[in-house]
Amino acid sequence: MPKSKNSSDLSLYQYWRSSCSWRVRWALKHKGIQYEDIAVNLLQNEQNSPEFLSVNPGGYVPALKINDQVYGESLALLEWIEETYPTNPLLPKSATDRLRVRQICQHIASGIQPIQNLSVMRRHSSDPAEQAKWAHHWIQTGLQKLEALVTPTAGTYCYGGEVTLADLCLVPQVYNALRFNVDMTPFPVISRINQHCLDLPSCDASAPHNQKGAP
């Protein structure tokens, strides 16, 4: 694996409102890593342009250019960032604690977000109201399970008192929930964690409203 000796080696292809991009932006900010920001406009379908597909055949953001190679998949990128930049750790120390954090991440990144993704909504229906209904349903269902999952482990954050990768997945998913008017009242633990996270400078700096291209 190429070693990134300094932050100038990193360029992040991302979209301001993309929840998966927010995960990676937040990890980079949390660890104080500099990166070049390359905006990919999903509403203009730039993720499917020949130019973007030539760097990331997955056709998704985020993608991270590390020493001239481009890599996709936000959770894989988070793991790489954690391994390469261990200061301000985003995973707990013990293997079973890490397992729980990764379970929360996967619940969101594999179990909720993909079903409400743009391409899936578009495939489901061309009617924006029907798309929104679809996303609302899957996010609400996913958050019900997430509330049960994080309740036993939550402190200030998803897993005790330290920010972990689980929080980096949770907050952008709550952002999507609010976009699709999901009532957060039945999810007090998620809502509390979300609010604590939003108060963190690294979370705010990586939030959609602070990105290039945001209205």
Tokens matching residue 178: 């609010």
Q: Which of 15-23, 87-95, 149-157, 199-207 is the region at the interface with ligand GSH (rule: CB under 6 A)?
A: 15-23
Q: Is 18 in the site for ligand GSH (CB under 6 A)?
A: yes
CA distance 36 to 17: 17
Q: Is 70 in the site for ligand GSH (CB under 6 A)?
A: no
Candidates 115, 118, 132, 184: give the one binding ligand GSH (CB under 6 A): 118
Instruction: Give me the least distance between CB of 68 and ligand GSH, in Å please.
Output: 20
Cβ proximity to ligand GSH, 53 vs 148, nearer residue: 53
Q: Is 109 in the site for ligand GSH (CB under 6 A)?
A: yes
Handedness of CA 59, 3, 39, 172 (dihedral sign): positive
Helix axes 128-150, 95-111, angle to 10 degrees: 160
Candidates 13, 29, 35, 47: give the one binding ligand GSH (CB under 6 A): 47
Closest residue to ligand GSH: CB criterion: 119
Question: Which among 30, 34, 27, 29 has a CA at the least distance from the CA of 9?
Answer: 34
Amino acid at 68: D
